Every structure is written in structure tokens, then in C-alpha cells.
Structure 1
């Protein structure tokens, strides 16, 4: 699901968070939980780009794969 499919989302009003492991150099990915369980994802150093929006199921599948090491670098 793309942000363009969600024109009603006011991204500026969301509570954005980033991982504690993120550097202080602006190289951070931030997420915000959406009403209905979805998640918005953005690059903190380029706030002019629309965030990617994922359904709750898409986000859960990603997190499960990340926790299982499926996305670890080779």
C-alpha cells in the first residue's frame, strides 16, 4: 500500500519513532503506528518524500522475517 493510496493520512501529526540503535547523524528510518494497525515508514533525513504505508499484516510479516534473520546481510 502506498502513501498515495492514503491521502487522508496527516503524516505530520503522527508520533514518529526510531530505533535506539539509530545514529545521531540523521541516518534513521522512522515508523509511526496508524489507526487500524498499519504502519508508516519514512527516512528521517528526507521528510519531503511521502512515507511508505503498510498494513498491519504486511508489517507483522516483515517483523517476523527480521527477527528470524531473513534480512541479515550476507
Structure 2
């Protein structure tokens, strides 16, 4: 994104309407001492939160964004140098 471009929040219209209160959260680990991240599927969107802070913010992905995120993780895009 260039300096003159602004990020567009394409989920602004739905963000406050998604209710993750009763969502079934899937954890990334079985280790209770290291909760990891959790994901949930609600109304066609994917939510991701910090398992150590379940009352904290939820990142919201469209299915396309989620697919790109998963592929990036598989390709090592988020690995520490």
C-alpha cells in the first residue's frame, strides 16, 4: 500500500453485528499452560482471538482472507527470522 492509499475496512458493515458470544472456539493447542490462538466460524466469517485473553479483541477474516492467511502460514511467511 502506498503512502497515499488508505486501508479500506471491508468488514466495517458487519464487524459490530457479528456475535461470537456463543461461538465454538477451536484452539490451536491442547496444552492448557500455553493456550495459543483460537478460531471460530460465525455467519460466514472467521474470528481469531488470543486463547490467553478470551475476552480480548477478535480479528475477523473473510473466507478469502482466511485462506490467504493459512497459505501464508504454511509457506512460512510469519516465521521469525
TM-score by length of 2: 0.70
**Alignment correspondent of 2:41:** 33
* More RCO (CA 8 Å, sep 6+): 1
TM-score by length of 1: 0.76
Maintained 8 Å contact 1:3/1:50: no
Q: Which structure's CA Rg is the greater one?
A: 2
1:40-63: per-residue Cα shift (whole Å, max 9, x none)?
Answer: 011122122231111111111010
Structure with the larger helix share: 1
Consecutive unaligned residues of structure 1, counting only runs of 5 or more, are none
- Equivalent pairs counted in the alignment come to 72
Once residues 4 and 24 of structure 1 are traced to their aligned partners in structure 2, the CA distance between those partners, rounded to angstroms, is: 35
Is 1:51 aligned to residue 58 of structure 2?
yes
- Superposition RMSD in Å: 2.4
Once residues 42 and 36 of structure 2 are traced to their aligned partners in structure 1, the CA distance between those partners, rounded to angstroms, is: 19
